[in-house]
Amino acid sequence: MRGQTIGAILAALVVLGGCSRCNDPGPCEGCPGEPTPYVLEVPPFFPPMDIPADNPLTVEGVALGRLLFWDVDLSVDRTLSCGSCHLPEHGFTDPNPYSFGVNGAVGTRNAMPLVNLGWAPSYFWDGRALTLEEQILEPVPHPDEMALPWPEAVARLAADPDYPDRFAHAFGDRTVTVERVAQAIAQFLRTMVSAESKFDRWRRGEATLTDSEFRGYQMFLREGGDPETTPGGQFGGDCFHCHTEAGLQFTDYLFRNNGLDPSFEADPGRAAVTGWALDSGKFKVPTLRNVALTGPYMHDGRFATLEAVIEHYNTGGVPSSTIDPFMKYQSGGLTLSAGQKADLLAFLHTLTDTAFVHRPEFSDPH
Amino acid sequence: MRISLLLLCGCVLLAFAGCVDPVRPYPSDLPGTVRLDLELRWNGAELALGDTAVDHLGHPVVLTNVQYYLNGLELRDASGTWHAVGDIHLVDFNREHPTAVEAVPAGTYTAMRFGVGIPKALNTDIDPASYPNDHPLSVLGSAGMFWTWSTGYIFLKYEGKAAVAEGSPIEEPISYHLGTDLSYRVITLPFAGPMQVDSREVTPVTVAFDGARMLSGPAGSIDVLTDPVSHNAPGTELPDRLLALLEDAFYLP
């Protein structure tokens, strides 16, 4: 009788729960259990990070993503991993203007630094990927990068003695798919949070800026130009408009033309994505976090040093149809003195997070 | 055994019964919706960013970026009472057909008003990072529209380029950014006739922002070549001139 009652209750529960189980693929044999949630701590003054509901961070997923990120098996000739062009000591970017792919292929844009990517609303210099998962799909099969078609990449991972179990721990079963590879790497990248620069610590009241660094910070926040020639000018660096301090990411995530070229035949930038002429020559405003480590600079790596970057803004840039109105191309540039430029440079160095680039959990585990 | 079967049947019936909506009368007090269709115009004609226009002084002008915060829509009923119905919206003409949608009590209205900018209580004292990312005042939602902690949000951006004369290169910068608490303005626009908002119906209202009227209107005029930049710098009078023009730049076409 007792067994019958339990049976009836179980049957009733099955009925009541039917609506939520109807898409269940069935029993999962050998499932290792639910993955362990990864608790990501959002640093002070940072905005919330929007993590896709279908790809929550898990300890197993992040660990798998790290392995995949550093795995040369994801390139056709087994010579390059994602990390080959995103080197920790260079702020997780490439010290070359253009990265070298397999077989000597050369890219067309400078590799972007990997830092605080979980807060970005788009990826690549032209913003053509709207999620990290989407972004990750591109470099592996790209002929100038890792040149490994995804079906082959999946086959390699599925044949590996270790990976299928790791996929099972991260995603519930041993199936290796392109989507899961992208999800795991995206999870790993979202954990790459930098918030331990000297500026961060100063902002939290844990460090002191030198006089030069503080003067540089004030210049960063002031309008640019000589007020005699530039209306509203405050002899500042005029950096804050685009590399906004709000949220401490030092970018507004918008696309701008900062006056590098008079025309855009070589690279249309954002316009290649939107098809809009007003976006010609515009590129994503990069974060300034770790900027002292991430040279060369600009989408094409044309400036080898930060000094050269500052000098570019100091002279105002080249006019064009889409140049940003913040550029002082008609009024002689920022006209900063040598001392002011040195102060600005000192401030930019306070954005270096040495602990971040040396964190063992981001390093090559192979 | 019988009890178990009865229990099972009861549970099954309960489960299926939960899926059936009871018949309810149509509620007459549900709100309607007002959709503000926000347009960029130039001397009354629709304008897209990137189009070339000519200003009151004959200068070719290309607007490349126009954005403003529209805050706190209110509607006035026939008795003269104002009804607050709106939230904060960032109107961005880089996007196609920007709109602001608000739930509005069904009724008849004679006028609308809204603020351009961010009210003082929200402008400088709240960290943008504290908002969810899809909020118009968040770091992402306000991208490009936030100055610093002390000065708050940019209320209105009016950016573009101008030429000295027709045929000259259009590359003289125009960059007007209005902001700070004292720059908050309330725009009042009477409807041409009573506007009926019906329950559960969408009532569209077109609100135009005229770029030409920002440069010339009853309150004065501005030469974009001699006054090309205003970022609300202290001690300058250009922001006041722009704010005076702003109040006439909005209208209901």
Tens digits of residue pLDDT in A49-80: 999 999 999 999 999 999 999 999 999 999 99
Same domain, A321 and A218: yes
Q: Residue A15: its pLDDT value, please?
A: 37
| Partner residue facing B230 (CB), from A48, A232, A241 | A232
Is the pLDDT at A25 greater than 80? The verdict is no
Among B229, B230, B241, most A C-beta atoms within 10 A, so best to mutate, is B229
- pLDDT number for residue A6: 43
Strand-pair category, B172-179 with B229-230:
parallel
pLDDT tens by residue, A97-111 = 999 999 899 999 999
The CA–CA distances, whole Å, from A63 to A58, A88, A160, A183, A210 equal 8, 17, 16, 12, 39
- Whether the CB-CB separation of B111 and B155 falls below 8 Å is answered with no
The residue whose two tokens read 């003082």 is B120
Cβ contacts of B226 within 8 Å, gap of 6 or more: none
Contact residues on chain A for B96, CB-CB shorter than 8 A: none
Task: Note whether residue A290 is domain-resident.
Answer: yes
**Interchain proximity A322–B64, CB inside 8 Å:** yes
What is the rounded CA–CA span in Å between residue B6 and residue B87?
54
Phi, psi of A256, rounded to the nearest 5 degrees: -140, 155
The pLDDT of residue B24: 58
Q: Which domain holds residue A145?
A: 59-194
One domain, residues A236 and A345: yes
Q: Are A180 and A203 in a shared domain?
A: no
Do residue A69 and residue A147 come from a single domain? yes
Considering only alpha carbons, which residue of chain A is nearest residue B15?
A16
Please provide residue A181's backbone torsions phi and psi, each rounded to the nearest 5 degrees: -60, -50
User: Does residue A150 sit within a domain?
Assistant: yes
List the single range of A169-183, B5-19, B33-47 with lowest mean pLDDT. Answer: B5-19
Query: What is the number of CB-based contacts under 8 A between chain A and chain B?
Result: 117
CA distance B184 to B119: 7
Rounded to whole angstroms, the Cα distance separating A317 from A171 reads: 50
The H-or-E segment that residue A133 falls in is helix A132-136
- State mean pLDDT over A355-361: 97
Structural domain includes residue A27: no
pLDDT, tens only, A239-291: 999 999 999 999 999 999 999 999 999 999 999 999 999 999 999 999 999 99
B60 — contact with chain A (CB < 8 Å)? no
Q: Do A11 and B11 touch (CB under 8 A)?
A: yes
A252 vs B1, B12, B143: nearest CB: B143
- With CB atoms and an 8 Å threshold, state whether B50 touches A232: no
- A132 in any annotated domain: yes
Maximum distance among all Cα pairs of chain A, rounded to whole angstroms: 96
Strand partners, B159: B65, B175
What average pLDDT is seen over chain B? 90
- Predicted pLDDT of residue A330: 83
**Domain total of chain A:** 2
> Rounded mean pLDDT of B97-120?
96
Q: Which chain A residues have a beta carbon less than 8 Å from that of B237?
A: none
Distance (Å, rounded) from C-alpha B177 to C-alpha A85?
40
Neighbours of A42 (CB within 10 A): 14
Name the closest residue on chain B to residue A9, using Cα atoms.
Answer: B8
Which tokens belong to A248?
Answer: 């401490």
Residue A289 sits in the same domain as residue A189: no
Bridge partners of B66, per DSSP, are B158
A202 and A346 together in one domain: yes
- Are A163 and A283 found together in one domain? no
How far is residue A215's CA from residue A52's CA, in Å, rounded to a whole number? 40
The tokens for B226 are: 């001699």
Residue contact A12–B128, C-beta within 8 A: no
* Pairwise CA distance, residues A98 & A329, whole Å: 28
Q: Which of residues 84 through 103 in chain B touch A, CB cutoff 8 A?
A: none
Whether the per-residue pLDDT at A8 is higher than 70: the answer is no
Q: What average pLDDT does the segment A298-325 reach?
A: 96
Strand segments, DSSP code E, in A266-346 are 283-284
Contact B229 A231 (CB under 8 A): yes
- Give the chain A residue nearest B234 (alpha carbons): A232
What is residue B4's predicted lDDT score, i.e. its pLDDT?
57
What ipTM describes this predicted complex?
0.86
- pLDDT at residue A37 in the model: 97
Counting every residue written for chain A, the total comes to: 366
Instruction: Characterize A285-309 residue by residue with b for buried, 16 or more Cβ atoms within 10 angstroms of its Cβ, and e for exposed.
Output: bbbbbbbbbbbbbbbbbebeebeeb
Q: Are residues A170 and A245 in the same domain?
A: no
Best of A220, A241, A251, A280 to disrupt the B interface (most B CBs within 10 Å) is A241
Question: Which one of A134, A160, A194 terminates a domain?
Answer: A194
Out of B49, B148, B159, name the one closest to residue A221 (CB): B148
pLDDT value of residue B5 = 54
Q: B71 — contact with chain A (CB < 8 Å)?
A: no
Q: Do B146 and A244 touch (CB under 8 A)?
A: yes
CATH number at residue A328: 1.10.760.10
The reply to whether A287 and A342 lie within a common domain is yes
- Chain B nearest CA to A273, separation (Å): 14
Q: Is B169 within 8 Å of A319 when comparing Cβ atoms? A: yes
Taking CB atoms and an 8 Å limit, are B127 and A5 in contact across chains? no
A210-231 mean pLDDT: 89
Question: Is residue A293 included in any domain, yes or no?
Answer: yes
Query: What angle, 0 to 180 degrees and rounded to 10, lies between the N-to-C axes of helices A338-349 and A211-221?
Result: 100
Calpha distance A148→A79 (Å, rounded): 11
The residue of chain B with its CA nearest to that of A278 is: B50
Among A13, A14, A15, which would you mutate to test the B interface (most chain B Cβ atoms within 10 Å of its Cβ)?
A: A15
What is the spatial distance between Cα A259 and Cα A177, in angstroms, rounded to a whole number?
43
Residue A190 distance to chain B (closest CA, Å)? 16
Find out whether the peptide bond into B253 is cis, omega within 30 degrees of 0.
no
What proportion of chain A, given as a percentage, has pLDDT over 90?
A: 84
pLDDT at A17 over 50: no
Residue A36 within any structural domain of the chain? no
Q: Cα separation of A15 and B128, whole Å?
A: 47
pLDDT score for B235: 64
Confidence at residue B236, expressed as pLDDT on a 0 to 100 scale = 74
Q: Which of A136, A161, A194 is the last residue of a domain?
A: A194
Q: Whole-angstrom Cα distance, residue B7 to residue A365?
A: 57
B150 touches chain A (CB under 8 A): no
Q: What is the pLDDT of residue A167?
A: 98
**Predicted local confidence at residue B6, as pLDDT:** 54
Instruction: Report yes or no on A1 lying in a domain.
Output: no
Choice between A329 and B118, residue whose per-residue pLDDT is larger: B118
* Structure-block tokens of residue A289: 């976090």
A12 pLDDT more than 70? no
Please choose, from the candidates B203, B215, B202, B150, the residue with its C-alpha nearest in 3D space to the C-alpha of residue B181. Answer: B150
Mean pLDDT of B224-237: 83
User: Which tens digit of pLDDT belongs to each residue from B166-216?
Assistant: 999 999 999 999 999 999 999 999 999 999 999 989 999 999 999 999 999
Domain boundary among A169, A194, A219: A194
A-chain residues within 8 Å CB-CB of B159? 325
**B229 vs A: CB within 8 A:** yes
Q: Give the pLDDT mean for A173-179.
A: 97
CB contact under 8 A, B148 and A231: no
| Average pLDDT of chain A, as a whole number | 91
Within a domain: residue A135? yes
- Nearest chain B residue to A250, by CA: B139
Q: Check: CB of residue A102 under 8 Å from CB of residue A174.
A: no
